[in-house]
Chain A
């Protein structure tokens, strides 16, 4: 029973973490100079109009009070209104969350496929040229900036080869797959090097493990040993690593969504920061934080399920 107690405890631990995130994001976004109302209304608006608009959004209140109101409203399930878009934030976030989730899922899938393929290739051909190529990629790939990689992929696959659309999101699920191929690939190419290095190392370690030698001595086929034992056991640290990288992944979508104009939460975040749309930034940050925490939670459960020895 004990190992599953954390499933009950974890959600409670969420509260202080989210409170901390909300306070930090609130302070950070208000620390950026610039006034949302002035950005919205422009240099030519009169002081009277600026004051009226500020009062409407409660921006004329002291900072501490604004934060308390924010918390109070959150507790009541009221997320407030976007200053820029003039609509409720839940409506705004819902309209943007699906493309981001689609892109994230697609990118994770691609990263895992690339990582498993390359790591297995490298481990099997250890020290020979396929291994060398994979190792060069897994080192060089770490330094690839996503915005540059994205443009290169567009020029190559969209302009020169005409295989994929330059940008956008599409209409149907198949259409989404087509449109989001390059953005997902951009993220995958940047994320997979970490996974490859990790998976390759654990594959090699497992290959040398005593139980593998024992299995071999019992006459089990190499393919079966690899599938049943080596591969399965190597996957655990990689899954944990993938979970840890969800925060990074979300950061990656912010950049990639801009380059490929994907109408997701990432591009909403960027435009809201530029416009000082405080509430939107705070709520989206909380949503991202929640996503990271939940993913880690799920990773923990999966790890327990995969390896009975793990204690939490």
Chain B
């Protein structure tokens, strides 16, 4: 109904308006602009375990040692070399010559201060991971000696994690809690400006110890919470990269020749928690039957648009001591029905704790409800707000519930302790699963110094946990990022760390 004239006027007005705002949109050489779905809260490495925080401050800080690109082994970072005593209780690290971004040298006393702070500060989130350290000493400026309470197999892996970031003692003491806003580290980049709710601007650290790195002049982490807006910004070329590509947009983005989609190996695993304290879920045979009644392949295909992999173990795919041949339950509803009948399970209704508004949870809920209906088990989908679902799981107020996990460290000890050891506090990730054989193996593996023996223990743990159906494994899925075609190295290692010191923008 609009005649030619007003339309003409409208477009003329819009063009004029756009011309008026000839804003400086030219991209500044080597600054990588990344759109991401969450904002940071702090840069203090011991007060957070939120992925959006960690992913940014990974660029500020160095650690004694770090995980390699595949997160299967450790490599030197601030420590050039190290020795471990024969009994596995004394670790001696020799530091390279490095400087903090404020120009002061990295001293052994800074390392000691940082590790003890992570272990002792009342609000340090992962204190328990540093508890094997009995004493930390600095005999000279370049030597750090850690004396442990006993042998600890996962220690090196812990020293490579974000919470073990080496901070300058003088700056932390001077700033107090304000340090989380004014980070000083010895990593590849330094904080230039933090515009809360908008963006975090990083500049190259000219004092970074690794010669020739970083390649970029800077990084901007830009907060764009809406999935569609984030992808549209990438398509429009307003940003160079974007995180968390929605599964259903991967194909479309791959078809755009200006864009590349990175599906990087991750330690992410999605699973269904089963509350062993509720009858008849305390019966192992019933849990096995439920596992057999759930079609993992159908779920992974729907939820991840086929980009995920069926999980056969609670250990992450290709991670340290993961057993690729761990026997999985076949999808067999007939057999499941038979077992349930034999166990006298009738008129069973399960409360399924899900997060409302979460697409993956919606899909998993519908599929599981449908699949379990085929074996005569009714499922009541209880959709809750995220925090509420969390509370329900922690309080044991659920029958089954969807959850996920990404490893903080590559060593399997943390996950085994938390998910299957039956620790009285977290009760095997709030499932109340307890198997004394598994508990014993988890404790022994934590101190075992022989890698081959240790590996065998973890293989046994994976097999036993699977046999017990401590939870129901669903799928592994890759990290999903996208970047413009001229960006190289916008990748995550399996622990989620963006390896941006080697990223670059060409032409």
Contact = CB atoms under 8 A, between A and B. Distances in A.
Interface string A175-188: 10111010000000
A258 B391 CA distance: 27
Nearest to B15: A163
A49 B127 contact: yes
A41 B125 contact: yes
Given A42-B50, A155-B232, A162-B236, A263 B387 contact: no
Given A86-B177, A154-B232, A163 B14 contact: yes
Interface in A56-112: 56, 84-87, 92, 95-96
Interface in A210-263: 258-261, 263
Interface in B401-436: 403, 414, 418, 425-426, 429-430
A263 B229 contact: no
B125 A45 contact: yes
A43 B394 contact: yes
Contact of A167 (B233, B235, B425): B233
B124 interface: yes
Interface stretch (A12-20, A194-202, A268-276, A301-309): A268-276
Contacts of A155: 232
Interface stretch (B190-198, B278-286, B444-452): B190-198
B362 interface: no
Contacts of A33: 384-385, 387-388, 391
Of A43, A168, A261, the most chain B CB neighbours within 10 A belong to A261
A175 B21 contact: yes
B21 A174 contact: yes
Given A167-B229, A261-B225, A49 B125 contact: yes
Contact of A259 (B15, B25, B226, B426): B226
A151 B229 contact: yes
A258 B222 contact: no
Interface residues of A, number: 63
Contacts of B149: none
A268 B1 CA distance: 41
A174 B23 contact: yes
Interface string B180-191: 110000000000
Contacts of A274: 386
B387 A49 contact: no
A35 interface: yes
B121 to A, nearest CB: 10
Contacts of B224: 167, 261
A274 to B, nearest CB: 7
B333 to A, nearest CB: 32
A49 B41 contact: no
Contacts of B197: 95-96, 263-264, 267-268, 271
Interface string B223-259: 1111011001101101000000000000000000000
B39 interface: yes
6 contacts: A41-B49, A42-B125, A43-B390, A175-B21, A261-B198, A263-B223
Given A38-B387, A271-B197, 5 more contacts: A33-B385, A34-B385, A95-B197, A167-B226, A261-B198
**3 closest cross-chain pairs (CB), A and B:** A34-B387, A178-B21, A263-B198
